[in-house]
Structure 1
Amino acid sequence: MTTFTSHQLVLTAIGEDRSGIVSELTQLVSECNCNIIDSRIAILGNEFTFIMLLSGDMAAISRVEHTLPVKSVELGLLTMMKRTSRHTENEFGAGYTLEYSGLDTQGTLSRVTRFFAEQKMSICSLKSDTFEEQGEMHMSCLLEFNTPCELDFDQFKEKFEELSGISNVHYVFRRIR
């Protein structure tokens, strides 16, 4: 497949977690002559979630769009599809991860993501979780993000230090690119 004839489709599937769902979906994609460029799986509560970025020629993408609805009914899945195009990276200064944890208090993730938006950060991935420890609920979060070229990272860290004090979280930044 050349980039000139390649089209892309984002496919999301949600349903009750059980063995074999991944195999069924990836087999359908393969039989339609599409390639899985990127994918993510998560179990949220008792629900299985699967997001895939597919590529293929126009006919292959159309086959997925026409065969998936029948397969999703058969598997008891809620599915959604959207055509897209190749992602173009914006220029950025550097890439980092932020890992933070603390007591589980309402609004922490909202405050952190709002802070990142105000600083013009591009969040690439985010995983948050809660867990019980010594009778108290705690949370942890891992974000991967890109910084704008003009960002003064030391000043950014100082501002985040203030936010972490308000939110009562411990954190670590790591440069990854």
Structure 2
Amino acid sequence: MTAFSNHQIVLTAIGEDRPGIVSELTQLVSDCHCNIIDSRIAILGCEFTFIMLLNGDMSAISRIEHVLPTKAMELGLLTMMKRTASHTPSEFCAGYTLEYTGIDTPGTLSKVTRFFADSNISICSLKSDTYSQEDDIKMRCELEFNIPVDVDIDQFKISFESLSHTLNVDYIFKRIR
């Protein structure tokens, strides 16, 4: 890569899940001389979703912007792209995961994410799903987050304990960094 390889773009692709789709997209990225810095894949229902953060020089980023729409139509994908810049992480004192489970109840995830927002804590990663257990539909969620230096982690945990009782969920905090 050249000295101008600091250009970045976020690419999102959604379409029917099928073997080879990841290979097609990663080959396109490679052919356009972009590099995949970060990526996530999820299957939601019958739909494949792929989010990638790419970097490259200006011509590589322009090439992917030009070539992707045609390739997406060929592959039956809905795509979206947005240029971005390198993420500048804020100062934090620790990183954690929160895993919680309980009976699937509408609004639980919304209340948990509102709790984080009200606590001025950004969520870095979130995965949630539901599953059957005995005669119940259960939910599980895992969030990854960083505690800003000005947030009292002990008070945060105490407050979450209260929320967990209200929402009737079991949870585990794990320090990861």
Q: TM-score, normalised by structure 2?
A: 0.98
Report what 1:48 is aligned to: 48
The residue identity in structure 2 corresponding to 1:163 is: L
Partner Cα distance (1:2, 1:163) in 2: 50
Q: Does the Cα contact within 8 Å between 1:16 and 1:46 map onto a contact in 2?
A: yes
Gaps of 5+ in 1: none
Pairs within 5 Å for 1:1-177: 1=1, 4-177=4-177
Partner Cα distance (2:107, 2:172) in 1: 20
Partner Cα distance (1:5, 1:34) in 2: 9
Q: Deviations over 1:94-113 (max 9, x none)?
A: 11000000000010000000
Partner Cα distance (2:64, 2:142) in 1: 33
Gaps of 5+ in 2: none
Q: Deviations over 1:35-91 (max 9, x none)?
A: 000000000000000000000000000000000000000000000000000000011
**How far has the Cα of 1:152 moved from its partner?**
1.4
**How far has the Cα of 1:93 moved from its partner?**
1.6
Cα RMSD of the aligned pairs, angstroms, is 0.9
Partner Cα distance (1:160, 1:174) in 2: 14
Q: Does the Cα contact within 8 Å between 1:120 and 1:147 map onto a contact in 2?
A: no
| Structure 2 residue matching 1:90: 3-state secondary structure | coil
Q: Does the Cα contact within 8 Å between 2:10 and 2:53 map onto a contact in 1?
A: yes
Partner Cα distance (1:121, 1:89) in 2: 13
- Deviation larger for 138-147 or 150-159: 150-159
Q: Does the Cα contact within 8 Å between 2:14 and 2:49 map onto a contact in 1?
A: yes
Q: Does the Cα contact within 8 Å between 2:10 and 2:52 map onto a contact in 1?
A: yes
**How far has the Cα of 1:5 moved from its partner?**
3.7
Partner Cα distance (1:70, 1:4) in 2: 26
**How far has the Cα of 1:130 moved from its partner?**
0.2
Q: TM-score, normalised by structure 1?
A: 0.98
The residue identity in structure 2 corresponding to 1:146 is: N
Partner Cα distance (2:9, 2:168) in 1: 41
Identity %: 71
In the superposition, relative to structure 1, how do residues 3 and 131 fare at CA in structure 2: closer, same or farther (>3 Å)? farther
Partner Cα distance (1:33, 1:164) in 2: 47
Aligned residues: 177
Partner Cα distance (2:131, 2:152) in 1: 34
The residue identity in structure 2 corresponding to 1:170 is: D
